[in-house]
């Protein structure tokens, strides 16, 4: 159990906010020693213990929303560690393959929660993670686990399996060399020729007043003031975060008309997050208002947050909804991968982009779908204010880094309280909203160019 706990601590330290990412390459070694040659049932329990404390240490910020939910989620996610230990107890050398299969399942089972996958710990290690353009984050996780096994093998020693151990070490060294060679090759390639100037607005609205009726007009005034300042940079597009509009966006409503009139005066296309309604159904949407003040297009969030935006099976068991969401309504999922289009002044053709809302950027298949439909860059609008000043926004941003590499298009992140940043097609975070060296819970905007 001590070895298991040491592994959990090493892995926690490899993720934000600690960012000691190199520890991921040795973080599993104590656990591998702990489960080696144990009965599968005991190996499961030892690994489950490790997984529970790992997720508790990485997802601790969920206590700001729900302590019972945090514990239940950690108890569930620890199962993947347990299953890993169950199989690895008999064959440590299969650990990389087993781990990647389990990560893939974690990202899809029960709607999926691919958060804090092993590969995400390396989101700043640009040469290593370039392989994500063909392997996804899972390929990076595979390489990290290969190194863990190779180092474990060298420490374990023993004359009986020495040849096999050295074969594994040499293979791992060759693999690591090839991965880095590919990474430096991709990083040295030509940049995309076209540029677009984008402004992101970080309103920094406290969660406790976000839906207060008396705060609606001041909130909107704050966003408009920041937008007017950003417009002085002459951007081609301005972006507000998820649910930044403080009531339902509907033509004819007072605040909607005020927003549209303000957008008309500013004269720059505006993408914002808002709740919308159609045929009695409510959607979490990204809405594009043209420079002429026309509500042009909208994308309705496809992958909703279970137990937050909807309750699974509540259509069959209405009591579930009342127990979890009470009097709050549920969102309906969108069905279309909407591609937004703008025509910057002086541009010869339209520029096309897709929007991901909230945690949709942790799902690689959604980002790929937008790019297949013609998106030349992606925008992530989100609100991580729920989680306080913690590692959550940076852990979230690590997913966006991988989506940029996987699709080879830039990603622009706009968050209510941060982390709002710009990511190029190689996964490099090169600009962000920052005040006095702080990214989180600061008010501001940032205008930067993207290459697409």
Which residues are known catalytic residues? 242, 301, 358
Please check whether residue 112 is in contact with residue 73, taking contact to mean a CB–CB distance below 8 angstroms. Answer: no
Gyration radius of the chain's alpha carbons: 23
| Encoded tokens for 412 | 């622009």
Element at 15 (helix H, strand E): none
Q: What are phi and psi of 270, to 5 degrees?
A: -125, 125
Half-sphere exposure of 131 (CA within 13 A, CB side): 22
Element at 323 (helix H, strand E): helix 318-324
What is the three-state SS of 91-130? CHHHHHHHHHHHHHHHCCHHHCCCCCCHHHHHCCCHHHHC
Q: Quote the DSSP letter at residue 148.
A: H
Distance CA 105, CA 98 (A): 11
Residue count of the chain, please give it. Answer: 452
Please check whether residue 165 is in contact with residue 154, taking contact to mean a CB–CB distance below 8 angstroms. Answer: yes
Helix (H, G, I), strand (E, B) or coil at 332: coil
Taking the C-alpha atoms of 76, 359, 186 and 434 in order, what is their torsion angle to the nearest 10 degrees? -120
| Encoded tokens for 189 | 């390639």
Distance CA 11, CA 399 (A): 17
Distance CA 412, CA 424 (A): 9
Instruction: Give first-to-last CA distance, the chain, whole Å.
Output: 50
Please check whether residue 232 is in contact with residue 268, taking contact to mean a CB–CB distance below 8 angstroms. Answer: no
Q: What are phi and psi of 407, to 5 degrees?
A: -100, -10
Q: For the chain, give percent helix, strand, coil, nearest 5.
A: 50, 15, 35
How many angstroms separate the Cα of 163 from the Cα of each of 8, 160, 349? 31, 8, 61
Helix axes 392-407, 364-372, angle to 10 degrees: 40
Distance CA 55, CA 439 (A): 24
Neighbours of 296 (CB within 10 A): 16
């Amino acid at each position: 159990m001590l070895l298991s706990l040491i592994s959990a601590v090493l892995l926690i330290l490899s993720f934000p906010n600690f960012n000691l990412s190199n520890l991921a390459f040795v973080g599993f070694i104590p656990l591998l020693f702990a489960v080696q040659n144990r009965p599968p049932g005991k190996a499961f329990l030892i690994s489950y213990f490790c997984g529970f404390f790992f997720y508790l240490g990485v997802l601790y910020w969920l206590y700001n929303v729900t302590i019972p939910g945090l514990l239940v989620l950690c108890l569930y996610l620890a199962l993947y560690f347990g299953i890993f230990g169950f199989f690895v107890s008999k064959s440590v050398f299969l650990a990389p393959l087993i781990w990647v299969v389990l990560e893939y399942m974690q990202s899809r089972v029960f709607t999926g929660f691919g958060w804090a996958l092993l590969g995400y710990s390396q989101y700043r290690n640009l040469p290593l993670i370039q392989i994500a353009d063909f392997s996804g984050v899972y390929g990076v996780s595979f390489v990290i686990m290969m190194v863990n096994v190779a180092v474990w093998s060298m420490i374990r020693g023993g004359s009986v399996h020495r040849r096999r151990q050295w074969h594994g070490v040499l293979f791992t060294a060759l693999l690591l060399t090839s991965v880095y060679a590919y990474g430096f090759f991709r990083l040295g390639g030509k940049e995309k020729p076209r540029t677009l100037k984008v402004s992101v607005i970080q309103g920094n609205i406290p969660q406790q007043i976000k839906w207060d009726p008396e705060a609606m007009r001041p909130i909107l005034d704050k966003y408009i003031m920041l937008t007017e300042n950003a417009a002085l940079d002459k951007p081609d597009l301005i972006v507000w975060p998820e649910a930044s509009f403080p009531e339902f966006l509907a033509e004819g409503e007072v605040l909607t008309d005020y927003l549209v009139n303000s957008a008309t005066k500013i004269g720059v296309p505006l993408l914002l997050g808002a709740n919308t309604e159609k045929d009695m159904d409510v959607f979490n949407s990204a809405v594009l208002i043209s420079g002429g003040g026309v509500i042009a297009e909208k994308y309705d969030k496809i992958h909703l947050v279970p137990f937050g935006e909807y309750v699974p099976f509540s259509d069959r068991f209405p009591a579930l909804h009342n127990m979890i969401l009470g009097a709050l309504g549920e969102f309906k999922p969108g069905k279309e991968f909407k591609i937004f289009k703008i025509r910057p002044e002086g541009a010869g053709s339209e520029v096309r982009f897709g929007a991901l809302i909230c945690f949709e950027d942790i799902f690689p298949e959604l980002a790929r779908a937008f790019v297949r439909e013609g998106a030349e860059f992606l925008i992530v609008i989100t609100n991580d204010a729920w989680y306080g000043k913690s590692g959550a926004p940076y852990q979230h941003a690590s997913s966006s880094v991988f989506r940029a590499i996987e699709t080879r298009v830039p990603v622009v992140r706009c968050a209510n309280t941060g982390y709002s940043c710009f990511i190029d097609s190689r996964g490099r975070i090169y600009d962000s909203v920052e005040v006095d060296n702080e990214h989180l819970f600061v008010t501001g905007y940032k205008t930067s160019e993207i290459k697409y």
